[in-house]
């Protein structure tokens, strides 16, 4: 901002609003992480204070890691998230390209049909999905989860990506056609790199609900072999006794991978390479 | 090599007819410019020639071969786009070589052609750069170079100068003209700018609302326009059109170009007051509100001092006055 458009009270006001919002948004996360480093008495005695030398305790983390299978749960979560993300982005981008690039009968209807999934929650179909998975023998497999999450993520991905693909210059695609590139090469080599920032946006929006989901792992893949982190954390949630240390530690650990993925995608948002293609 | 025949090509998008039956013959080595207002179908026609759009009916022949169902890459054409359309992830060299690589040309041959083209367009210092590191004029030269290396039968230009600023536009126009002279290739050029059309073309095709209004050399179009549309479109400032009835003429409209009117302070055919004067140095444009003829533009060569509000008489050159009938066609 230039000096001419800046005013001190307005700057202070804007910062106050943003800082307040940041504090509100971060509060639960910080509370979880803080308490995960405290002893049980510390958590219940003073839940809002940071760990002191007296209350500091790594019992939660040792429990989680000592349980042994937790690494395996992490691995399951990662496999499911990354694989679903891959398929959502691949199929979403391909469908979006077809919808935005080719004129064919029923194009608009197809677009609306694909967008319908945004408005109808996939969980309404849980019973049918379960029957389907039982019939196809996919219960208690990660494949079941990947399939469901891919279906869940596609509508929004297609909706967002087709808007962005419409903005990719027609001239560029036509130049590729005249140079003899196949439609696949045009899609993968010319169009995809140009919509990379929007792909990253879609990836972030798709990834977080998948990582955090409890519903489908609980219903479709509750076995020890296929448990995800969120489901695994339920282990410590007993009917009579709840191991808060372990839950908080598990949740704190669960933030890490998703944070790493987020950092990777948000770096893609840098537009650098796209400038200079046209105009 | 390099002739083009278009036979009764029609194109409709749903119920909207964009091209209403186009017939055109382009001989080898000609520079043909399609010109017309926005939406007249000139870009669509170019796309049909390139194979980027299918025509609804009619045939396109390149060198006598019907290419109506041949994919763009196999038609022996190269195209330069308004937005340059360079591949952002490739260097200048690879941008130019990609088409040949796809066609399976040996790499020594590709290198040789890139060398010739880049020397022709003074692109040698930039061969290893990416499009993002080039200026607008350089990018358009790369796009032209990409067309040159393919040694096509037909060059297609789709408003290649529209994104450049005025000074670069003149330079690049000159380069395209020189390129045509050197390569002696057939070129088809689309523009809405009649100055580009007049300066570059061997043959101008004036299009309007999906039809060809007139085909001819720049001077033919300027001196003997077939109808009021061509007369108004070619020439700048635009031809003055005067209602024939007001002048007591039998023709529906009478047209006279601004440069074919003379002004005098004392006497003349049409009395009027000066509304505005534009002083361009080399010439002066006067806008006269005439009692009989309405608002007229007069172009005077050199400097002419006239204050708004002054009374002047305008006189048309009778040999260069055009009369148009009710259907817009010129009356002989």
- Could you read off the pLDDT of B121-170 as tens digits, one per residue? 989 999 999 999 998 889 999 999 999 999 999 999 999 998 888 888 99
Tokens of A200: 């990253």
**What's the confidence (pLDDT) of residue B286?**
94
**What's the confidence (pLDDT) of residue B275?**
94
In angstroms, the CA B322 to CA B303 distance is 27
Return the residue of B nearest to A188 by Cα.
B89
* Cα–Cα nearest to B134, from B92, B83, B85: B92
Instruction: Mark whether B176 and B307 lie in a shared domain.
Output: no
The predicted-structure confidence for B59-113, as pLDDT tens digits, reads as follows: 999 999 999 899 999 999 999 999 989 998 899 999 999 999 988 999 999 999 9
> Are the Cβ atoms of A171 and B83 closer than 8 angstroms?
yes
Between the alpha carbon of residue B309 and those of residues B285, B289, B304, the distances in Å are 15, 10, 15
Mean per-residue pLDDT over chain A, rounded: 87
**What's the confidence (pLDDT) of residue B5?**
94
CB B33 within 8 A of CB B89: no
Which of A165-170's residues contact partners 24+ apart within 8 Å by CB, and which partners?
A165/A93, A165/A96, A165/A97, A165/A100, A165/A101, A165/A191, A165/A195, A166/A100, A168/A194, A168/A195, A169/A277, A169/A278, A169/B83, A169/B85
Instruction: Mark whether B23 and B172 lie in a shared domain.
Output: yes
CB B198 within 8 A of CB B234: yes
CB A41 within 8 A of CB A55: yes
> Are the Cβ atoms of B73 and A279 closer than 8 angstroms?
no
Q: Which of the listed residues B206, B230, B254 is the one where a domain comes to its end?
A: B230
**What's the confidence (pLDDT) of residue A279?**
41
> Are the Cβ atoms of B102 and A279 closer than 8 angstroms?
no
**What's the confidence (pLDDT) of residue A204?**
84
- Give the number of other Cβ atoms within 10 Å of residue B125's Cβ: 10
* Cα–Cα nearest to A215, from A118, A97, A121: A121
Q: How confident is the model at residue A269 (pLDDT cuts 50, 70, 90)?
A: low
> Are the Cβ atoms of A171 and B85 closer than 8 angstroms?
yes
**What's the confidence (pLDDT) of residue B136?**
87
The model carries a pTM of 0.80
Instruction: Mark whether B175 and B275 lie in a shared domain.
Output: no
Instruction: Mark whether B212 and B65 lie in a shared domain.
Output: yes
In 3-state terms chain B splits into helix, strand, coil percentages (rounded to 5) of 30, 35, 35
**What's the confidence (pLDDT) of residue A59?**
84
CATH 1.10.3720.10 residue window(s) in chain A = 68-274
Q: Which residues of A touch B163 (CB under 8 A)?
A: 279
Q: Which of the listed residues B181, B202, B230 is the one where a domain comes to its end?
A: B230
> What's the first-to-final CA gap in chain A, in angstroms?
27
pLDDT beyond 50 at A276: no
Instruction: Mark whether B113 and B22 lie in a shared domain.
Output: yes
pLDDT beyond 70 at A213: yes
Looking from the CA of A8 toward its CB, the CA atoms found within 13 Å total 0
In a domain, B329, yes or no: no
Return the residue of A nearest to B76 by Cα.
A178
* Cα–Cα nearest to B32, from B181, B197, B173, B153: B197
* Cα–Cα nearest to A145, from A63, A85, A58: A85
Measured in angstroms, the CA of B52 and the nearest CA of chain A are apart by 7
> Are the Cβ atoms of A171 and B99 closer than 8 angstroms?
no
In a domain, B330, yes or no: no
User: A53 has which bridge partners?
Assistant: none
- The residue whose two tokens read 């804007």 is A14
Tokens of A143: 């494949």
CB B230 within 8 A of CB B221: yes
- Tell me the residues of A at the B interface, defined by beta carbons under 8 Å apart: 169, 171-172, 174-181, 189-190, 193-194, 272-279
The predicted-structure confidence for B170-213, as pLDDT tens digits, reads as follows: 989 999 999 999 999 999 999 999 899 999 999 999 999 999 99
Instruction: Mark whether B176 and B193 lie in a shared domain.
Output: yes
Instruction: Mark whether B26 and B121 lie in a shared domain.
Output: yes
B84 touches chain A (CB under 8 A): yes
**What's the confidence (pLDDT) of residue B167?**
87
pLDDT beyond 80 at A146: yes
- CATH dotted code for A68-274: 1.10.3720.10
Least confident of A45-54, A73-82, A120-129: A45-54
Instruction: Mark whether B212 and B277 lie in a shared domain.
Output: no
DSSP string, B34-100: EE-STTSSHHHHHHHHHTSS--SEEEEEETTEE-TTS-GGGTTEEEE-TT----TTS-HHHHHHHHH
- The residue whose two tokens read 């140095």 is B281
The predicted-structure confidence for B222-242, as pLDDT tens digits, reads as follows: 999 999 999 999 988 999 999
**What's the confidence (pLDDT) of residue A231?**
87
Instruction: Give B39's contacts (C-beta < 8 A, 6+ positions apart).
Output: B209
The predicted-structure confidence for A68-88, as pLDDT tens digits, reads as follows: 688 888 899 999 999 999 999
The predicted-structure confidence for B278-293, as pLDDT tens digits, reads as follows: 999 999 999 999 988 8
In a domain, B211, yes or no: yes
Please count the structural domains in chain B. 2
In angstroms, the CA A173 to CA B82 distance is 13
The helix (H) or strand (E) run that includes residue A88 is helix A70-101
Return the residue of B nearest to A172 by Cα.
B85
In a domain, B198, yes or no: yes
Q: Which domain holds residue B274?
A: 237-324
The predicted-structure confidence for B17-29, as pLDDT tens digits, reads as follows: 999 999 999 999 9
Instruction: Mark whether B183 and B273 lie in a shared domain.
Output: no
Q: Which residues of A touch B144 (CB under 8 A)?
A: none
**What's the confidence (pLDDT) of residue B307?**
87
In a domain, B24, yes or no: yes
The predicted-structure confidence for B249-273, as pLDDT tens digits, reads as follows: 888 999 999 999 999 988 889 999 9
CB A250 within 8 A of CB A70: yes
Burial classification of residue B331, based on how many CB atoms lie within 10 Å of its CB (0-12 exposed, 13-18 middle, 19 or more buried): middle
Instruction: Mark whether B197 and B124 lie in a shared domain.
Output: yes
Instruction: Mark whether B216 and B282 lie in a shared domain.
Output: no
CATH number at residue B274: 2.40.50.140
Q: How confident is the model at residue A197 (pLDDT cuts 50, 70, 90)?
A: confident
A211-232 mean pLDDT: 90
Of B52, B99, B132, the CB nearest to A174: B52
**What's the confidence (pLDDT) of residue A103?**
85
> Are the Cβ atoms of B79 and A174 closer than 8 angstroms?
yes
B53-82: buried (b, 16+ CB within 10 Å) or exposed (e) per residue? bebeebebebbeeebbeeebbebbbbbbbb
In a domain, B42, yes or no: yes
In a domain, B331, yes or no: no
- The residue whose two tokens read 């792909």 is A199
The predicted-structure confidence for A12-40, as pLDDT tens digits, reads as follows: 999 999 999 999 999 998 998 888 888 88
* Cα–Cα nearest to A149, from A217, A231, A230: A217
Q: What are phi and psi of B52, to 5 degrees?
A: -85, -20
CA A209 to chain centre: 5
Instruction: Mark whether B199 and B256 lie in a shared domain.
Output: no
Decide which of A76 and A267 is more confident: A76
A89-115: buried (b, 16+ CB within 10 Å) or exposed (e) per residue? bebbbbbbbbbbbeeeeeeeeebeebe
In a domain, B153, yes or no: yes
Tokens of A32: 């979880």
Q: Which of the listed residues B181, B200, B230 is the one where a domain comes to its end?
A: B230
């Amino acid at each position: 901002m230039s000096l001419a458009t800046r005013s001190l009270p307005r700057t202070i006001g804007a910062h106050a609003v943003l800082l307040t919002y940041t504090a509100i948004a971060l509060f639960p996360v910080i509370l979880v992480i803080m308490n995960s480093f405290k002893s049980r008495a510390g958590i219940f005695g003073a839940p809002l204070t940071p760990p002191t030398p007296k209350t500091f305790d790594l019992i939660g983390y040792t429990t989680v890691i000592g349980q042994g299978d937790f690494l395996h749960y992490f691995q399951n979560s990662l496999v499911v998230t990354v694989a679903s993300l891959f398929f959502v982005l691949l199929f979403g981008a391909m469908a979006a390209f077809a919808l935005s690039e080719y004129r064919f009968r029923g194009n608009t209807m197809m677009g609306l049909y694909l967008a319908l999934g945004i408005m109808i929650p996939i969980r309404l179909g849980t019973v049918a999905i379960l029957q389907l998975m039982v019939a196809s023998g996919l219960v208690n497999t990660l494949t079941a989860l990947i399939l469901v999450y891919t279906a869940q993520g596609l509508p929004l991905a297609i909706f967002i990506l087709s808007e962005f693909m419409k903005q990719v210059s027609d001239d560029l695609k036509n130049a590729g056609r005249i140079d003899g590139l196949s439609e696949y090469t045009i899609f993968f080599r010319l169009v995809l790199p140009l919509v990379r920032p929007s792909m990253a946006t879609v990836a972030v929006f798709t990834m977080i609900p998948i990582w955090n989901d409890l519903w489908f792992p609980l219903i479709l893949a509750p076995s020890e072999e296929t448990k995800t982190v969120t489901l695994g954390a339920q282990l410590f949630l007993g009917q009579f006794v709840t191991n808060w240390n372990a839950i908080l530690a598990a949740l704190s650990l669960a933030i890490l991978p998703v944070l790493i993925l987020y950092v990777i995608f948000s770096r893609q948002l840098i537009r650098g390479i796209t400038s200079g293609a046209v105009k | 090599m390099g002739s083009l025949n278009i036979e009764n090509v029609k194109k409709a998008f749903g119920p909207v007819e964009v091209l209403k039956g186009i017939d055109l013959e382009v001989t080898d080595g000609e520079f043909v410019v399609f010109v017309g207002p926005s939406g007249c179908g000139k870009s669509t026609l170019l796309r049909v020639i390139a194979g980027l759009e299918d025509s609804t009916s009619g045939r396109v022949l390149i060198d006598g071969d019907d290419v109506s169902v041949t994919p763009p890459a196999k038609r022996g054409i190269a195209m330069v786009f308004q937005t340059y359309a360079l591949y952002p992830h490739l260097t200048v060299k690879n941008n130019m070589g990609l088409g040949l690589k796809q066609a399976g040309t040996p790499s020594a041959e590709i290198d040789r052609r890139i060398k010739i083209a880049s020397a022709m367009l003074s692109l040698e210092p930039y061969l290893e750069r990416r499009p993002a590191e080039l200026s607008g004029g350089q990018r358009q030269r790369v796009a032209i170079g990409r067309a040159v290396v393919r040694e096509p039968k037909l060059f297609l230009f789709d408003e290649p100068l529209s994104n450049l600023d005025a000074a670069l536009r003149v330079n690049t126009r000159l380069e395209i003209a020189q390129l045509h002279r050197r390569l002696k290739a057939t070129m088809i050029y689309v523009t809405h700018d009649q100055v580009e059309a007049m300066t570059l073309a061997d043959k101008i095709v004036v299009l309007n609302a999906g039809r060809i209004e007139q085909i001819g050399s720049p001077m033919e179009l300027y001196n003997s326009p077939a109808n009021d549309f061509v007369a108004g479109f070619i020439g700048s400032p635009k031809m003055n059109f005067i209602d024939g009835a007001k002048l007591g003429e039998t023709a529906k409209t009478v047209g006279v170009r601004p440069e074919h009117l003379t002004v005098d302070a004392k006497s003349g055919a049409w009395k009027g007051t000066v509304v505005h004067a534009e002083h361009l140095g080399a010439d002066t444009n006067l806008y006269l509100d005439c009692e009989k003829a309405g608002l007229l533009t007069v172009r005077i060569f050199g400097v002419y001092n006239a204050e708004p509000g002054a009374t002047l008489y305008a006189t048309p050159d009778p040999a260069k006055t055009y009369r148009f009938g009710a259907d817009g066609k010129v009356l002989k």
